[in-house]
Amino acid sequence: MDVFVVKANGSKQLFDREKVVQTCLRMGVTIEVANEVAERVQNRLYEGITTQTILRLIFTFIRKQKPAVRYVFDLRRGISLMEPKPEFEAFIQILLAESGFQVKPNQILKGKCCEHEVDAVATKNGTTFLVEVKHHYSYHALTGLDESRIARAVLEDVTEAYELGVTNQKIDRAMIITNTRYSEHAVCYGRCRNIMQIGWTSPEDWGLRDIVEKSKLYPLSCLRGLSSEVRLRLVNAGIVLISQLLKLGGSEIEKKTGVPHVTVSSILEKAQHSVDTLWNY
């Protein structure tokens, strides 16, 4: 019997067993366990069940096979918990650097009409981008047309300034990076205006999720039980990723952040356990 699932935005779609299997596989379990979990989820379905409830069921069932799951949020939710500034911006700057870009964060660009503050300037293979970062707490929200139009307007102004000799900073393209998807209008406009739009799963094989998972660049916000206050103290000390946390060790973290020893020890324990889950995505 077909069952309709309610998404976070209120829309409905038919339950897709394969999506459950893929979610399980991304959490590092075997195909046998993934199919078993999908079967158990399917047996608990009812008309109007929410996607959030299904995800909770998946975590509950997998936890018995993979206890380390209790220490982490799934990547999409973890990123949605970030603070837009400075956390998400710093995270994106790291991802770009790890992807081979030369990154200059938080730049002021001179335009013909006025100055523009951008989240970063990134250069790779001879092409220089102005970078705008857009974070949504709700990962089901769409990134709309306004961000692309603004980026295009800034690019035009700084390009005219360069052509007039007002600045020697040449910007070739605009880039927008978000943790959600883009609206159809935004995609259409971006394609027409040659704007690089990086979203949760776009462009293919180089969306935000792909970049994180391929390079194991999981953010601190994926750790359960880490308060936003402590997380921001870590971020302000330049510690944004779980891998950075593990490389530094307790005494160095305490020195850099002033976070108490007991708290740091607890964080490191969770981070170490998280490796069993996240690193196997």
Q: What is the DSSP letter of 146?
A: H
Q: Which residue, 203, 187, 219, is CA-closest to 74?
A: 219
CATH 3.40.1350.10, the chain: domain bounds: 83-214
CA distance 249 to 159: 45
Q: Which residue, 273, 274, 216, 219, is CA-closest to 242?
A: 219
Cβ-proximal residues to 31 (8 Å cutoff; 6+ apart), any chain: 21, 25
Tell how strand 12-14 and strand 4-6 pair up: antiparallel
Residue 277 has a pLDDT of 61
Give pTM, 2 decimals.
Answer: 0.81
Structural contact between residues 202 and 180, judged by C-beta atoms closer than 8 angstroms:
no
CATH 1.10.150, the chain: domain bounds: 219-278
Domain 219-278 class, CATH top level = mainly alpha
Mean pLDDT, consecutive 10-residue stretches, the chain (281 aa), reads 83 91 81 91 93 88 75 86 96 96 98 98 98 95 96 98 97 98 97 98 93 92 90 95 91 94 92 68 40
Residue 165: what are its φ and ψ, rounded to 5°? 85, 10
SS3 content of the chain, % helix, strand, coil (to 5): 50, 20, 30
CA distance 217 to 97: 11
State the first-to-last Cα distance of the chain, in angstroms, to the nearest integer: 31
Residue 81 has a pLDDT of 95
Pick the CATH number of 83-214 from 3.90.550.10, 3.30.1360.170, 2.102.10.10, 3.40.1350.10: 3.40.1350.10
